[in-house]
Structure 1
Amino acid sequence: MGNHMLSSDLFCDQFSTEEMRKVFSDENMVQKWIDVEVALALAEAECGVIPVEAAKEIANKGKAELFNFSNIKEGIDHTWHPIVPFIREFKTLCIDDMGEYIHWGVTTQDVMDTGVVLQIKEGLQIVEKDLKRLENILCYLAEKYKDTVMAGRTHGQHALPITFGYKVAVWASEVNRHLERLEKLKPRVLTGNVSGAVGTLASLGDIGLEVQKTLMQKLDLNVPEIAWHVSRDRLADVTTFLGMVGATFGKIANEIIQLQKTEIAELAEPFQLGKVGSSTMPQKRNPMACEAVMAISQLLRHKSSLGIESMFQEHERDMGPWQAEWAFIPEMFQLSSGLLYHMSWILEKLHVNPDAMLENLNKSKQLIMSEAVMMHTAKTIGRQEAHDLVYEIAMEAYEKDTTLSEILKANPRIKGIMSDEEIDEMLNPINYVGLSQKFTNQVIMKINKGNKVTT
């Protein structure tokens, strides 16, 4: 591959979305730097630090489309500095040396940290919107299939009957917790970082706190209690969150892939004529979208650890680990957008095959109901004794490749405990889904209550 997938004209939409790419574009990044500088100038003018006329001129010229990006790039290449060339370009746009008041009393990281928080704010709004959409889709599926019985599996084997709605409700509950996490991390993450060279605001003196507060009000960000130049836990909060979101939907995509296998065929990702599974096997309907989600999930999970790594900083500012954030934070947001977009399409149009679920449920020849038999038998002979007895019966059924019913009805100890009619009733999987429907309803009710608009 000759290009990064996020910037590839061919593959960018398989890994991200245009909406999120715009948030983390050069144009929007520079606009956020401008927004910080403009808010700073206006705050300083209100606090009597710089002339009001200068602040007005800076605000008037605070539009990214007025900037020459080629000049900024050339300046960055020459100076090895990300903000000085930007400030010089900004200054040239202002009349009567008003540009001399740009960046008054602050440092590079102040502007870039606060700028990226503004980008993160926009990015999280998109993520939240997409998560809520997915939560609603999952609630719909859970409600629709809450009575559809299927085999529950543990260790890759049939375990006990569940309903498909219950399986989906487990996913929906996890997504709901992600939305709760997002709500709780916002106050920590959406906090500016304008604090001066080493975070003490020495350059602004006693008026510094007032400037800082006024500036953050203009940007609609929280005021830090102290500088976080080398305290990167706020951003690690974000990367951990995105990594967890990636893990959730990677898991769901993988589950769909497993249940789409030819031998199982209980689920299938959407298909439309023209979707190609193979360049050589025309019959293939491969789960290509789910596989794309799994790939993105893998990237997100691995990149999330970089947020933790960047918490390791030196002294009062450290540019090495900080620069790494410039790469992986935009990447993670863009990858997350691709993952959530694909999952919305997959789940909204998911093909569910209840007939295959029922057919597969019966493939174990009633062995999936062994626990029900054991629990009923335990009432008469005790739990451990019942386990050993039903174990022997189940293994016999395995070896003889026959039904559990046949071996149970032939066992003299079982005959003394239950009738053939009781055995037949007990071995009906529909009668042993436990509280699948109740748990499903609890999840749906919780989510619907949280989404209810109060007036």
Structure 2
Amino acid sequence: MDSPRNRQNYGSRLSNISKVDVNVSPLDLNNVPPEHLKYRSPLVSRYAGPEMAYNFSEMKKFTTWRKLWTWLAKAERHLGLDITEEQISQMEQNINNIDFERATQEEKRVRHDVMAHVHTFGACCPSALPIIHLGATSAYVGDNTDLIVMRDGFDILLPKLARCIQRLSVFAEEYKSQPCLSYTHLQPAQLTTVGKRACVWVQDLLMDVRNLETVRNNIRFRGVKGTTGTQASFLSLFDGSDEKVEILDKLVTEAAGFKKNFLICGQTYSRKVDVDCLSALASMGSSVHKICTDIRLLASFKEVEEPFEKEHSGSVGVSYKRNPMRTERCCALSRHLMCLIQDPLMTASVQWMERTLDDSANRRVCLAEAFLTADIVLSTLHNVSDGLVVYPKVIDRRIRQELPFMATDAIVKAMIKAGGNRQECLEQIRSISQEAGIEIKQYGGDNDFLERIRKSSFFQPIHNCLDDIFDPKNFIGRAPNQVNRFLEEEVKPNIVTYANIIDDIAELDL
């Protein structure tokens, strides 16, 4: 917050900054806005969409705390505790009325973030102060908020993922019959189609939809469990009534929009939930990395490239280059996303007994970064998939360089059908292939295999049908039919839930 006090604090530190950087004087920094004097994560300042940035904001976090306190108080009142309607009303009216400056000062005083916000909330609804957080522990607001935020995060990501699938599916449909080289070991193997390759990408993303939906729908609310999960404090509040404590847990769970809560937990929900959530995101990161790596390789071949706007700058030193900057960004951030899974794995493994606090600082970083990174990756992939450019003539030229060698079986079959001897035909093919290979590799020439066949008297019986034999569409197998069936049977049913968002425009700020 850019308050006068904050500006004063920054001003008092300028002399320290100047000692670190000899080229900066305190006078030079006086007019610099405070936000530029400290590190800002590029995940928010440069890349992330506003929805996900807000989802992990302090405003979302602390208003959710206040909602949780309000839901708890309403449920406790419903079950007979001495809580008035006026107290509930004050809490409801001040959900968004957060004095962040006061909360900061309170935390410095009490050295506890939750109690600082209890007092800050109570300052704007004083009659409710005695019953705010009644019977609860810090994990009640902390953990339940994390679960709400992650659930909401998946609700932001899933439509974006479906949108990428829809765009790539349109692309696959358009190019389902466009032959292209396929590769194993990055060596030309046979032919496939541009659309069929896109379906391979889509299939991975559909698996990610399944994973994200499964994890999202399996997130349970921690609920109202007390200090170490035994609900002892609430049992005391309700004079030993098991029934009321269970109803309280159920009411708050429903108010938060969850169907189920954990029946068993320690002070916190099991950190394996974080493992599951970030595993799904890391897996999606690997899918996007593979897709964007393919596009980068195809861009190098000049077969396919990402969108390139009119004022898009190429390489600084080589202006004609069209660097695949967006797919490179996807790969860079996807690697970060895949690496983040190590944090919750380690955290879950070292939670002593009912809980240790060494999870807190780590989770503040890794959970937010995982969802923010996933959001950026999907937004960028959407932009790329919405405007992929295909160059059929380049693809055809590259096919012509390789297809003659791939078509040798078809030539042999045609010769046998015309009455030729299989062994003699194979020997002739081997000789011509070696000659054409020498022309390509030693002399840098084009693949003249087909011309050599045309000039060979041995292959004269099939000269009049060579154009048909070498038609690339004869070598793509069932690829177009596979695309049709895949799009109809697997893609459409799995993204129909998100149909209302697929027409959004794929734009990026950077």
TM-score range, shorter chain: 0.7 to 0.9
Q: Distance in 2 between matches of 1:41 and 1:378?
A: 87
Does the residue aligned with 2:310 lie in a helix, a strand or coil?
A: coil
Shift of 1:316: 0.3
Does the residue aligned with 1:310 lie in a helix, a strand or coil?
A: helix
Q: Distance in 2 between matches of 1:370 and 1:76?
A: 77
State how 1:49-448 maps to structure 2 within 5 Å.
Answer: 49-53=81-85, 56-57=88-89, 59-64=91-96, 66-96=97-127, 98-205=128-235, 206=242, 207-221=244-258, 222-227=260-265, 229=268, 231-261=270-300, 264-312=301-349, 313-364=351-402, 366-369=404-407, 394=433, 397-401=436-440, 402-405=447-450, 419=462, 425-445=468-488, 446-448=490-492
- What does the per-residue CA deviation read over 1:352-389, in whole Å, with 9 as the maximum and x for residues that have no partner? 11111111111225223356668999999xxxxx9999
Go from structure 1 to structure 2 and tell me whether the alpha carbon gap of 1:186 and 1:50 turns closer, same or farther (over 3 Å shift): farther
- What does the per-residue CA deviation read over 1:170-216, in whole Å, with 9 as the maximum and x for residues that have no partner? 11122222112222222322533431111111111123221111101
Go from structure 1 to structure 2 and tell me whether the alpha carbon gap of 1:230 and 1:23 turns closer, same or farther (over 3 Å shift): closer
Gaps of 5+ in 1: 381-385
Does the residue aligned with 2:113 lie in a helix, a strand or coil?
A: coil
Is the CA contact (8 Å cut-off) linking 1:370 and 1:394 kept in structure 2? no
Task: Give the TM-score normalised by structure 1.
Answer: 0.87
Shift of 1:429: 2.4
Is the CA contact (8 Å cut-off) linking 1:171 and 1:252 kept in structure 2? yes
Gaps of 5+ in 2: 1-35, 236-241, 420-424, 441-446, 500-510
**What is the number of equivalent residue pairs in this alignment?**
443
Q: Distance in 2 between matches of 1:17 and 1:378?
A: 63
Q: Distance in 2 between matches of 1:328 and 1:399?
A: 55
Shift of 1:420: 5.2
Shift of 1:280: 2.9
Shift of 1:77: 4.1
What one-letter code is carried by the residue in structure 2 that aligns with 1:30? F
Q: Distance in 2 between matches of 1:364 and 1:298?
A: 34
Matching residue of 1:383: none
Go from structure 1 to structure 2 and tell me whether the alpha carbon gap of 1:55 and 1:250 turns closer, same or farther (over 3 Å shift): farther
- What does the per-residue CA deviation read over 1:233-290, in whole Å, with 9 as the maximum and x for residues that have no partner? 21211111111222212222222111112xx211111112221123333323211122
Matching residue of 1:34: 66
Determine which structure has more spread, i.e. the larger CA radius of gyration.
2
Does the residue aligned with 2:166 lie in a helix, a strand or coil?
A: helix
- Percent identity reads 21
Q: Distance in 2 between matches of 1:77 and 1:250?
A: 43
Is the CA contact (8 Å cut-off) linking 2:212 and 2:281 kept in structure 1? no
Q: Distance in 1 between matches of 2:73 and 2:150?
A: 23
Q: Distance in 2 between matches of 1:38 and 1:275?
A: 50
What one-letter code is carried by the residue in structure 2 that aligns with 1:246? G
Does the residue aligned with 1:153 lie in a helix, a strand or coil?
A: strand
Q: Distance in 2 between matches of 1:230 and 1:388?
A: 71
What is the aligned-residue RMSD (CA, Å)? 3.3
Does the residue aligned with 1:150 lie in a helix, a strand or coil?
A: strand
Shift of 1:331: 1.2
Task: Between 387-396 and 197-206, report the one with greater CA deviation.
Answer: 387-396
Does the residue aligned with 2:341 lie in a helix, a strand or coil?
A: helix
Matching residue of 2:443: none
Go from structure 1 to structure 2 and tell me whether the alpha carbon gap of 1:376 and 1:198 turns closer, same or farther (over 3 Å shift): farther
Is the CA contact (8 Å cut-off) linking 2:75 and 2:251 kept in structure 1? yes
Matching residue of 1:449: 493
Q: Distance in 1 between matches of 2:403 and 2:55?
A: 55
